Amino acid sequence: MQYFFSQGIAVLFSQAPDLGSLRHLLERQGYTITADEDATDWPEMQGACLTLATDFESNAVCWVDICEFSWPDDMGTSGDPTLVTSAHALGAFGPFVNPGAFERALQAPGYQTAAASARDHRAFVRLRISHFFQAPDGSEYSRPARPENAQPTQELGFLLKAAAALDEWPGAIAYFNPNSELILPLDGLSSILSSAQEHQTYPIEAVCRLRGCLAEENWSFVDSIGMAQLGMRDHEFAWEDAANTRSEQIHFLVNLLHYQADQSVQIENGHTTDGTDGKLWRAEERDDSCMLPPRKVLHWTIDGASPEPDLLAASSSAASAAAPAEHSDLSPEADGILSKLEAWQSLRGAIHSRAVNWLRSPAFRTVYYDDAHVPLAMKIVLEKEMPKKQAQEIWQKIQYLGQQTPQLWNEYQQLATQGQVWFAVPMMTNPAFDTEIHTLLPCGVIVATAQTSMEILAASVYAMVAYELYSGGGDPAQFPGTARIMSDDSYRVFYRESFPVNETQGSHFTLLSVLMRKSWMPPDDVPFIPFLAMPGPRGAIIQIPWHIATGTPPLPGSVEPGRFAEVAEVDRLADQMMEEQKTKKWGCWNIISLIIWVVFLAGIIGGIGMALFDKPSKPAKTPQIQKKVSPNQK
């Protein structure tokens, strides 16, 4: 995935360097540091970090961050989703990385000189390029990103030189390119760069890994891994000819890769080339490779050659063998939904950008936050307006929404920098969802961690299974974990729980408690609901209003201030006055009296319908076929 990073490599360390020393080393090597930051609460996404100045026409930013843990080779794909899972999905470990890349790199013949020490590494430094994260506004390095001007060879070349500069660090062990599953000693990386500079060619040997093997009896096979980093497909050559050796074919492949990188040449389906054996080779575009890792390739065979063995045939490649069968089993309705999902996948970036801008706007606080959560001033209002016992009862009824606090507000603000767009499928809706259309109400959705179109479609199918268990049907003995999860329909702020993978046929699906507005929902023909969510097992999540997701005018009444907006304004006024107290010596009693006076003057209680405070009752299924299931959540 390239959601946040277009390029990413790593240098493995025996122990983590400190940020100050790393900065000093890079500055001595001639790099200009434009910013440095401490490690975040999500170190899998960003550890202690330096930002290096670049001269890219795309204005992309180079991050160098310190990860004080070993390379997570399973990328969080085993077991329940974690912060590693989400970071991997966002391309934080490299935009084209597959689980198991590190172990496969260690086993690679010809690359063993650094394997032993690399296996014992305890930390690594990531070097990444991002068009998404920019220098802070107002700084001398702040420039608008122009990803359309991106030059992958330039970006990756910059990272390779910066990685080689870390060879001076005593604890630096090896260069690791997880996208091409390649490990090299750092002096080997430097040697490749020096040779490329001397011969005025691109250091393709540091970017791509080459392999050769005997595929089946007399059939030989060689391929490349890593060309996706340059925006190109990898190559596979398969042939049945003892006269054409694998070493000769690898040499030919190296020259082909150099030609592509040096001349920026794209090779496509049907293109031909004369091989070292004097025979004509023809390329066939395949969406799946013959060997791991799965990737798009150009598969080359000799014109007029015998049919390939099943191991090398297009129909037997790992992913394509399963995909056609899955698609052939789809109903016309499901196939239509899949097509719509595929069309929306390319718009994730635009949806994310609009959602973040909305999150950072003042309207988010008054329209969303003040509708979703109860301000503390509400308790004072209730206690002054009615008998104490009745006030306590009402206060308890609305507490399930969660109280506004600085900590809660900060959780929402983290979404602006760390949140990602999720396409979720509906699971439960509140009984008042179709009547109180401009109010955020507790609901439930299911999200697929992988976020591929097929996984989202599979999540919608599994939603039917879960809802049937929820409504008293189905077979709890067959789905005990799902039945347990569905037995509790109470709303909890930011609650999420993963369904057992042995009950979901290996897919990672999660049930989320969310707040949604009917007037913010997508049209009925859109097979998902967009959310901005903190990745991983916990964190804030918000429904992205459809008018925000699409950049269209909102429905009338859908962006009015939330039900607690006026009361929340009193809380914010109190916070402001507390700050002024330090200099103006306001008394605590004066502040509380003013809060009560402002609340009564505004007539808050009369403007807030008590019906909205009632905790949602037992859900009932709605009849919308398009949504698959629409149970209600309390």
Q: How far apart are CA 505 and CA 323, in angstroms?
A: 16
Predicted pLDDT of residue 227:
97
- Residue 157: helix, strand or coil by DSSP? helix
What predicted TM-score, i.e. pTM, was given to this entire model?
A: 0.55
The percent of residues above 70 in pLDDT, for the chain, comes to 83
Residues 596/597/601/607 CA torsion (nearest 10 deg): 0
> Binning pLDDT at 50, 70 and 90, where does residue 563 land?
confident
Among 399, 371, 363, smallest CA distance to 563 is for 371
Q: How far apart are CA 170 and CA 575, in angstroms?
A: 51
Task: Report the range out of 329-333, 420-424, 460-464 with the highest average pLDDT.
Answer: 420-424
Q: Structure tokens of 318?
A: 């790992």
Given a contact cutoff of 8 angstroms between Cβ atoms, the answer to whether 125 and 11 are in contact is yes
Predicted pLDDT of residue 91:
87
Q: Does 320 or 110 have the greater pLDDT score? A: 110
Q: How far apart are CA 458 and CA 505, in angstroms?
A: 10
| Residue 124 CA: distances (Å) to CA of 15, 133, 165, 226 | 8, 21, 14, 20
pLDDT at 430 exceeding the cut of 90: no
- Residue 265: helix, strand or coil by DSSP? coil
Among 55, 48, 50, 47, smallest CA distance to 25 is for 50
CA 370, 371, 372, 374 torsion: positive or negative?
A: positive
pLDDT at 596 exceeding the cut of 50: no
Predicted pLDDT of residue 324:
34
Q: Mean pLDDT in the chain?
A: 83
Which amino acid would we find at residue 364?
F
**Average pLDDT, integer, range 558-566:** 88
The percent of residues above 90 in pLDDT, for the chain, comes to 46
Among 441, 464, 366, 456, smallest CA distance to 409 is for 366
Predicted pLDDT of residue 273:
93
Q: Structure tokens of 449?
A: 């961690």
**Average pLDDT, integer, range 134-138:** 54
DSSP conformation class of 135: P
The contacts found for 319-328 with CB under 8 angstroms, 24 or more apart, are 319/287, 319/288, 319/294, 320/286, 320/287, 320/288, 323/288, 326/454
DSSP conformation class of 403: B
On the CB side of 117, CA atoms within 13 Å amount to: 19
Radius of gyration (C-alpha) of the chain in whole angstroms? 28
Predicted pLDDT of residue 299:
96
> Binning pLDDT at 50, 70 and 90, where does residue 333 land?
confident
Q: How far apart are CA 315 and CA 322, in angstroms?
A: 9
Predicted pLDDT of residue 623:
28
Q: Structure tokens of 568?
A: 């929340």
Predicted pLDDT of residue 213:
85
pLDDT at 610 exceeding the cut of 50: no
Q: Structure tokens of 248?
A: 């000769």
pLDDT at 284 exceeding the cut of 90: yes
Q: Which of 280-294, 310-324, 568-582 has the lowest mean pLDDT?
A: 310-324
Predicted pLDDT of residue 235:
97
**Average pLDDT, integer, range 309-338:** 57
Phi, psi of 512 (to 5 degrees): -120, 135
SS3 sequence of 166-201: HHHCCCEEEEEECCCCEEEEHHHHHHHHHHHHHCCC
Phi, psi of 599 (to 5 degrees): -65, -45
Q: Structure tokens of 514?
A: 């969310």
Q: Structure tokens of 402?
A: 């969660």
**Average pLDDT, integer, range 315-332:** 42
Among 522, 540, 544, 520, smallest CA distance to 531 is for 544
Q: Which of 104-108, 283-287, 433-437, 542-546 has the lowest mean pLDDT?
A: 104-108
Q: How far apart are CA 599 and CA 574, in angstroms?
A: 12
**Average pLDDT, integer, range 107-130:** 86
Q: How far apart are CA 13 and CA 122, in angstroms?
A: 6
> Binning pLDDT at 50, 70 and 90, where does residue 600 land?
very low
